[in-house]
Amino acid sequence: MHSPHVYSKLITVLPEHIDELQHVNNVQYLHWMMESAAEHWQSRASENLMQQLVWVVKAHEINYLGAAKLGDQLLLTTYTGEYTGAGWWRHFSIRQNTGAQELVVAKTLFVLLNKASRKPQRIGTEVVQIFIDAG
C-alpha cells in the first residue's frame, strides 16, 4: 500500500506575523503554506527535476477555523492528493502544536510547468514517486 509522503514543520508565531486584531494575519497562513509546499518539493526532488520543472498555483481553497496568537507553536502539515494531467491538489493543515485545535484547513491546486517552455507538463511517474511513501 502506498500513501502520500507528509511534510511537517513547526512554526513559532512572531511579532511580524500578527495583525491589528492581535492574531496571525490570514495572508501569513498562506505564505507558510506556499513556503512548506516549496520546501517539500525541494526536500524530495532531484536537482535535475528542479532545474526542469516548476509548480505554479491555479487555485486556493482555505478555511480559517481559529486564530493563533503571538508566541503560539503551530504544526503545519502538507501532502499531495488527487492529480490529473498537469494539476495536483496539495492539502494543508495548520494546528496548535498540542494538536488540540486545527486553525486552518486548505488545499491548493498546483500546475506543473516545464521551466524552459513555461507550458504545463503532464505529471509523470518520476514526479508521482517523489510524493509517495511505500507502505
Q: Across 1-135, where does the E strand assignment appear?
A: 2-4, 7-12, 53-64, 73-84, 87-96, 102-114, 132-134
Assess whether pLDDT exceeds 80 at residue 135. no
pTM of this prediction? Answer: 0.93
pLDDT (tens digit per residue) in 29-45: 999 999 999 999 999 99
Sequence-ordered list of residues with C-beta below 8 angstroms from that of 83, at least 6 positions apart, any chain: 89, 123, 128
Q: How far apart are CA 26 and CA 19, in angstroms?
A: 9
pLDDT (tens digit per residue) in 58-95: 999 999 999 999 999 999 999 999 999 999 999 999 99
The dihedrals phi and psi of 129, each to the nearest 5 degrees, come to -60, -25
The domain defined by 2-134 folds into Thiol Ester Dehydrase; Chain A (3.10.129)
Query: What is the number of residues in the chain?
Result: 135
